[in-house]
Amino acid sequence: MDKQAFLKVFTQLKEELIGDFQKLPGLSDALKEQLTTYYTQCLETTVPGGKMTRGLTVVRGVEVLKGRALTEQELFDASVLGWQVEWLQAFFLVADDIMDGSITRRGSPCWYKHAHVTQDNGINDALFLENLIYKSLRRHFKKHPSYVQLLELFIDTTHQTEVGQHIDTNGTPYANGKRAPLDLSRFTLDRYRGCVRYKTSYYSFYLSCALSLAYCEVPEDSDMYQKANDVCMRLGEYFQIQDDYLDAFAPPEVLGKIGTDIEDAKCSWMVCQALSLADEEQKEVLKKHYGKHDPAGVAKVKELYKELGLERVYSEYEEEQKKECDALIASIEPESFQDLFKFLLGKIYKRSK
């Protein structure tokens, strides 16, 4: 399915959801118009605009599982489910940008940075975006045999991601209303892998695959769900490590955002690797500059990453991860199911943004 056809389904979903404002009792026409104008811009700004890989994966998954060209209804249904994953992504990103104090997203100001939005509206809008997932699911899948399973997948994935977000936000904990002093001993690969599994792997990879299986009425006790989980956890870790590398080294105009992992004292793969390779003098650079909103200090940390050869370390990791992912995918049966994971791996291997 091409992106333009996929985007047409977004337009229909947006119009349905915005049209619901007209049905709200007890509101004047002026208030309905205010809601319509504001949330039309909100949805158009926050939901489309990315690579749409998560959403398109649902469509690809249904195609692979059906093993034939989809009917018009199946294609529409798969696209609707795909857009719910994109809506979930929008909800997470609007909230995450506020938590991280981010400036740009997809090459434009973050939603809460728009002059008429601010943080106050941004928090409510994140919650609103999440709610719209369930309105669309009810509208389009209430009579589907897997409706409850589809709902539960979104409920469980949201919970998993919010667990991961807590781990991520508290790599350096808070005390007395502010960040506690930097404690480099907290930046371990064990913490990192737990964070990645919950913050990234479930919603960015497993959810789309599981929705495809559920829509195609594959029984919940089928081992195909576990096979998908195994591959998606590996792909998710690879994807997040790419993200951490790009946050440090990719130009903002290519990445589409200004990376803030260093300033935000994130337990990133980069700092974990740096700590494993640095001598005591180099660790002092991290102690002095990591987690501080100081451009000169951030530059010193990035210089240290280069000095430690993290670009080479990452390149070697990426090639090794590609081999391991290929081997894991090749072990999956039925063989036709492998095509979905080859599609996903092809989308992220050597990505630049």
Catalytic residues: 51, 91, 96, 100, 105, 168, 199, 239, 243-244
Query: How crowded is the C-beta side of 77, counted as CA atoms within 13 Å?
Result: 22
Identify which of 143, 126, 141, 114 has the alpha carbon closest to the alpha carbon of residue 47: 126
DSSP output for 167-186: HHHTSS-EETTEEPPP-GGG
Concatenated DSSP letters for 265-280?
Answer: T---HHHHHHHHH--H
Say how far apart CA 61 and CA 221 lie, in whole Å. Answer: 18
How many CB atoms sit inside 10 A of residue 81's CB? 28
How many residues are present in the chain? 353
CA angle 155, 58, 334 (to 5 degrees): 105
In terms of DSSP bridges, do strands 174-175 and 178-179 run parallel, antiparallel, or are they unpaired? antiparallel
Rounded CA-CA distance 15/335 in Å is 40
User: How far, in Å, CA of 62 to CA of 76, rounded?
Assistant: 11
Instruction: Return the closest-CA partner of residue 94 out of 115, 78, 117.
Output: 117
Tokens of 271: 């700092």
- The answer to whether 246 touches 238, Cβ cutoff 8 Å, is no
- Asked if 213 and 224 count as a contact pair (C-beta separation under 8 A), the reply is yes
For residue 241 the two structure tokens come to: 């490590």
Report the amino acid identity of residue 32: K
Q: Is the peptide bond before 173 cis (omega within 30 degrees of 0)?
A: no
Contact 39, 111 (CB under 8 A): no
